[in-house]
């Protein structure tokens, strides 16, 4: 760019950004009024501990277009004592190898009522602190004299060189907002893909193209009124999937000489980029070479491809310890991980991939985004949104997804943290979408055989079998205890039984087999039991003891991760000189479209009764429109589970 164009460009930005900033947003400090302090409650949410009265963000490029300047301005009213902590702020700044975010300006003040007038307390420099690590820096500060009734105001300016994703704006937070607006100035030489997330609709959505002899600027103004607080609910994936926000991803850079750099690539380009990466594709080759002469002791002899794959998987799984770090790339590299028997997700699963390929098994990497990381963008590839790698093995017509980081996961199952929509299977030619939903489900079957005596004592045997993800979770629970006897005591205390004897656990180390518990058990009598009237609740064991769905409505899907099934079989023999006070009615509740079912069958012949109870949730994810059916199913099921059987002496 020559000097004339540079000066024109600079002048244009001064006129179109800094000048424009004067006619939108709100000035710092001067807009706080007595009305802000005196208004007793806000209709948007009368239970809130604080509320954003006004919020504005303004993003524009600096004069040479090398950095993005972002002004953030917020005014908050403190409504309850629990909201005082909103006076504590933390600003995140990112750090790269040679570039970093910079905090250019910071203002803060607290406004309180004193003798009918507004008193202002300014943020002092001594209250500002910095914390830093390898990738980030945090600017932390606390505004002075924040109390119930305070109005606090903060405004700051960040300069960032990270232009790939522009600057995202979250309209929602954990407190309600009366208004939030974001203004983005995007020069014509930058082309961004723009996506809105969440369920709230924009009240303002204005575009204005500002022309110039040098460069046009698209001014985008987005605003939402009366924004409810975002509250996380049970069985939700990452809140970033549902939080109302706008996101930008750089697609193309257009230069003054007419050339263009395409940033958003097709998936085949992304796959090639990964295979060329030193910490991905190069490490796959090194892993393959590393294991070529180390597998003969496992894969020798006439064994089938599936048995060979299982042996390799089990060996990698038992050899390596996961260091709890995620990542689609290796950290120290596969050789270092092999020697130290430890690594991140990339180190371990890329080692697994290389070992499988060395054994001439068809295996390829699958990248994904974990449940806590959020769903990746589906419209175009954004590699930074993927934070995990697993392995797909193809044997004949059947494929298996593998993850060797978890010592309790059997072959063909991936950890629940990975069950998040779809991943991308990478080959040299393409990157195809792969469904991450599991083929198996969480399933527990309990078989209880009891005898009731005239003293109100219940004795008998209990067998519990765990399948799929229930087996994974139960193995983790058992192994978390230093001794099996401590686990036995823990479940005895939880069930509140009088005595638990001869507790046996079968197939604990064999991940391919059904995990089984067997025990003899004596139950305590009901507190109100007597010789004349004995109470017993047959659902002392089992999972759901309370309804996780209590909200009157739900806007977000209910995501269990996997389908759920629980079955309880009870055989009970009681004294011949007793009878049941009331015989429970059989029940069968079904959700629409075969979404789930609850069954309760009761059979009483002579002095023996049989109970069959089953809850079958057939879908891993339920849409918000199915919430009321799901809530009703649980309510009616739990009503039944809370009902005692009453035996009366004749």
The reported pLDDT for the residue numbered 526 is 66
What is the SS3 string spanning 537-568?
CCCCCCCCCCCCCCCCCCCCCEECCCCEEEEE
Cβ–Cβ under 8 Å, residues 440 and 400: no
- The torsion angles phi and psi of 329, rounded to 5 degrees, stand at -100, 155
CA angle at residue 59 from 54 to 61, to 5 degrees?
160
Please give the average per-residue pLDDT across 234-257, as a whole number: 84
Do the domain assignments include residue 153?
yes
**Is 644 within 8 Å of 535 (Cβ atoms)?**
yes
Nearest residue to 413 (alpha-carbon basis) of 393, 388, 427, 395: 393
Instruction: Return the closest-CA partner of residue 580 out of 613, 598, 601, 603.
Output: 603
Note whether 253 and 282 are same-domain residues.
no
Tell whether 122 and 249 lie within a shared domain: yes
Task: Indicate if 592 and 508 belong to the same structural domain.
Answer: yes
Name beta bridge partners: 58: 71, 183
d(CA 597, CA 52) in angstroms, rounded, equals: 43
Distances (CA, A) of 366 to 311, 385, 396: 21, 14, 19
Q: How many residues does the chain have?
A: 650
Residue with the larger pLDDT of the pair 188 and 341: 341
Of all helices (H) and strands (E), which one includes residue 35?
Answer: helix 34-38
* Contact by Cβ (8 Å): 178, 55: no
Q: What is the pTM of this model?
A: 0.82
The Cα–Cα gap between 79 and 66 comes to: 42
Asked whether residue 3 carries a pLDDT value surpassing 70, the answer given is: no
Q: Which residue range is the domain that position 323 belongs to?
A: 267-435
List the beta bridge partners of residue 400: 393
Please name the residue that has the structure tokens 């990452």. Answer: 238
* 199 and 292 fall within a common domain: no
Final residue belonging to a domain, choices 419, 435, 451:
435
Q: How far apart are CA 382 and CA 269, in angstroms?
A: 12
**Residues 544/615, Cβ–Cβ less than 8 Å:** yes
Q: Which of 23-27, 110-114, 299-303 has the highest mean pLDDT?
A: 110-114
Give Cβ neighbours of residue 230 (< 8 Å, ≥ 6 apart). Answer: 172, 173, 174, 239, 242, 243, 244
The reply to whether 115 falls in a domain is yes
pLDDT tens digits for range 332-346 = 899 999 999 999 999
Structural domain ending residue among the three candidates 373, 403, 435? 435
Contact between 558 and 621 under an 8 Å Cβ cutoff? The reply is yes
CATH code for the domain in which residue 399 is found:
3.10.620.30
Q: Are 330 and 337 in contact (CB under 8 A)?
A: yes
Q: Are residues 283 and 422 in the same domain?
A: yes
Look at residue 182 in the predicted model and tell me its pLDDT.
96
Separation between Cα atoms, residue 476 and residue 417, nearest integer Å: 15
Check if the beta carbon of residue 337 is closer than 8 Å to that of residue 283.
Answer: no
Residue 460 scores a pLDDT above 70? yes
Same domain, 430 and 296: yes
Write the DSSP assignment of 332-398 as a string of letters: S-HHHHHHHTEE-HHHHHHHHHHHHHHTT-EEEEEEE--TTT-PPPSSS--GGG--EEEEEEEETTE
How high is the pLDDT of residue 527? 66
Higher pLDDT among residues 269 and 326, named by residue:
326
Question: pLDDT digits over 72-103, tens only?
Answer: 999 999 999 999 999 999 999 988 778 899 99
- Separation of alpha carbons 362 and 376, rounded Å: 26
Residue 34 lies inside a defined structural domain of this protein: no
pLDDT per residue as tens digits for the range 592-641: 988 999 999 999 888 899 999 999 999 999 999 999 999 999 999 988 88
**Alpha carbons 50 and 398: distance in angstroms, whole number:** 54
SS3 sequence, 221-265?
A: EEEEEEECCCCCCCCCCCHHHCCCEEEEEEEEEECCCCCEEECCC
Residues 471 and 352 in one domain: no
Average pLDDT, the chain: 87
Q: Given this model, what pLDDT does residue 299 score?
A: 59
Cα 416 from Cα 419, distance rounded (Å):
5
Q: What b/e sequence results for 38-76 when a residue is b if at least 16 CB atoms lie within 10 Å of its CB, and e otherwise?
A: eeeeeeebeebbbbbbbbbbbbbbebebebbbbbbbbbb
| 29-38, 328-337, 450-459, 507-516, range with the lowest pLDDT | 29-38
536 plus 583 within the same structural domain: yes
Same structural domain, 98 and 82: yes
Tell me whether residue 377 is in a domain.
yes
- Percent of the chain having pLDDT more than 90? 57
Please report the pLDDT score of residue 408 as a whole number.
95
Asked whether residue 535 is assigned to any structural domain, the reply reads yes
Q: Which residues of 111-124 are buried (b: 16+ CB within 10 A; e: fewer)?
A: bbeeeeeeeebebe
CA distances from 354 to 287, 307, 429 (A): 5, 17, 19
CATH number reported for the structural domain that contains residue 156 in this entry: 2.60.40.3140
CA-closest candidate to residue 634, choices 535, 522, 558, 562: 558
Asked if residue 397 is part of any domain, the answer here is yes
Instruction: For residue 66, give the nearest of 139, 10, 132, 5 by alpha carbon.
Output: 10
b/e code 364-395 from CB counts within 10 Å (16+ = b): bbbbbbbbebbbbbeeebbeebbbbbbbbbee
Tokens of 303: 């064994």
- One domain, residues 479 and 392: no
pLDDT confidence tier of residue 245, bands split at 50, 70 and 90: very high
Residues 56 and 146 in one domain: yes
Is residue 33 one of the residues assigned to a domain? no
CA–CA separation, 602 and 648 (whole Å): 18
Q: Looking at 262, 291, 316, which one is the last position of a domain?
A: 262
Question: Between vectors from CA 648 to CA 642 and to CA 650, what angle results, nearest 5°?
Answer: 165
pLDDT confidence tier of residue 214, bands split at 50, 70 and 90: low
Q: CB-based contacts of 433: which residues, under 8 Å, 6+ apart?
A: 422, 423, 424, 425
β-pair partners for 401:
392
- Please give the structure tokens belonging to residue 423: 């991943």
**With 0-12 CB in 10 A as exposed, 13-18 as middle and 19+ as buried, what is 343?**
buried
Q: How far apart are CA 647 and CA 650, in angstroms?
A: 9
pLDDT band at 151, cuts 50/70/90?
Answer: very high
In this predicted structure, the answer to whether residue 108 has a pLDDT above a threshold of 90 is yes
The CATH number that applies at residue 632 is: 2.60.120.1130
In 3D space, the residue among 225, 220, 68 whose CA is nearest the CA of residue 158 turns out to be 68
Domains: count for the chain: 3
For residues 10-29, give the mean pLDDT.
56
CA-wise closest residue to 370 among 329, 334, 414, 418: 418
Residue showing tokens 């339920």:
622
Q: Are residues 232 and 84 in the same domain?
A: yes
């Amino acid at each position: 760019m020559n000097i004339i164009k540079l000066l024109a460009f600079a002048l244009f930005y001064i006129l179109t950004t800094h000048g424009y900033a004067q006619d939108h947003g709100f000035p710092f400090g001067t807009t706080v009024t007595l009305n802000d302090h005196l208004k007793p409650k806000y209709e948007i949410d009368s239970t809130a501990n604080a509320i954003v009265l006004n919020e504005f963000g303004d993003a524009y490029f600096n004069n040479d277009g090398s950095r993005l300047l972002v002004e953030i301005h917020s005014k908050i009213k403190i409504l309850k004592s629990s909201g005082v902590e909103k006076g504590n702020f933390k600003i995140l700044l990112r750090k790269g190898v040679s570039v970093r975010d910079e905090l250019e300006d910071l203002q803060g003040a607290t406004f309180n009522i004193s003798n009918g007038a507004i008193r202002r307390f300014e943020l002092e420099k001594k209250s500002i602190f910095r914390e830093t690590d390898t990738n980030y820096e945090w600017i932390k500060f606390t505004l002075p004299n924040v109390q119930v009734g305070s109005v606090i105001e903060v405004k700051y300016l960040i300069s960032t060189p990270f232009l790939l994703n522009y600057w995202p704006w979250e309209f929602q937070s954990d407190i309600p907002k009366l208004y939030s607006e974001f203004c983005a100035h995007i020069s014509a030489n930058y082309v961004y893909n723009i996506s809105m997330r969440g369920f709230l609709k924009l009240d303002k959505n204005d575009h204005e193209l500002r022309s110039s002899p040098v460069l046009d600027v698209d001014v985008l103004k987005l605003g939402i009124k009366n924004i409810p607080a975002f509250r996380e609910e049970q069985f939700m994936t990452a809140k970033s999937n549902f939080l109302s926000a706008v996101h930008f991803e750089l697609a193309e850079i257009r230069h003054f000489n007419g050339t263009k750099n395409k940033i958003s690539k097709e998936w085949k380009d992304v796959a090639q980029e990964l295979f060329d990466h030193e910490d991905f594709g190069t490490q796959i080759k090194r892993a393959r070479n590393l294991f070529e002469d180390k597998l003969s002791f496992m894969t020798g002899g006439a064994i089938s491809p599936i048995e060979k794959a299982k042996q390799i998987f089990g060996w990698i799984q038992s050899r390596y310890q996961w260091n709890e770090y995620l990542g689609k790339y290796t950290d120290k590299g596969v050789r270092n991980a092999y020697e130290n028997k430890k690594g991140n997700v990339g180190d371990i699963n890329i080692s697994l991939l290389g070992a499988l390929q060395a054994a001439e098994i068809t295996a390829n990497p699958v990248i994904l985004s974990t449940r806590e990381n959020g769903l990746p963008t589906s419209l175009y590839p954004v590699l930074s949104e993927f934070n995990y790698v697993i392995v797909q093995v193809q044997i004949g017509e059947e494929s298996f997804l593998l993850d060797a980081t978890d010592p309790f996961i059997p072959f063909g199952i991936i950890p629940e943290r990975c069950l998040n929509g779809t991943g991308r299977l990478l080959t040299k030619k393409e990157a195809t979408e792969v469904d991450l939903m599991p083929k198996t489900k969480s399933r527990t079957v309990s078989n209880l055989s009891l005898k009731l005596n005239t003293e109100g004592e219940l004795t008998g045997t209990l067998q519990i079998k765990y399948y799929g993800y229930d087996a994974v979770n139960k193995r983790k629970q058992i192994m978390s205890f230093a001794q099996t006897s401590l686990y036995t005591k823990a479940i005895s205390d939880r069930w509140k039984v009088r005595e638990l004897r001869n507790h046996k656990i079968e197939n604990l180390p064999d991940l391919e087999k059904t995990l089984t518990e067997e025990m003899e058990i004596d139950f305590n009598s009901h507190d109100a039991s007597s010789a004349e009237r004995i109470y017993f609740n047959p659902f002392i064991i089992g999972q759901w003891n309370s309804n996780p769905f209590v909200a009157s409505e739900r806007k977000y899907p209910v995501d269990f991760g996997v389908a759920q099934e629980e079955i309880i079989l009870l055989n009970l023999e009681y004294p011949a000189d007793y009878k049941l006070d009331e015989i429970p009615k059989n029940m069968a509740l079904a959700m629409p479209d075969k979404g789930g079912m609850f069954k309760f069958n009761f059979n009483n012949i002579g002095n023996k009764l049989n109970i069959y109870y089953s809850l079958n949730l057939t879908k891993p994810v339920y849409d918000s429109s199915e919430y009321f059916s799901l809530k009703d199913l649980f309510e009616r099921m739990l009503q039944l589970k809370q009902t005692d059987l009453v035996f009366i002496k004749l």
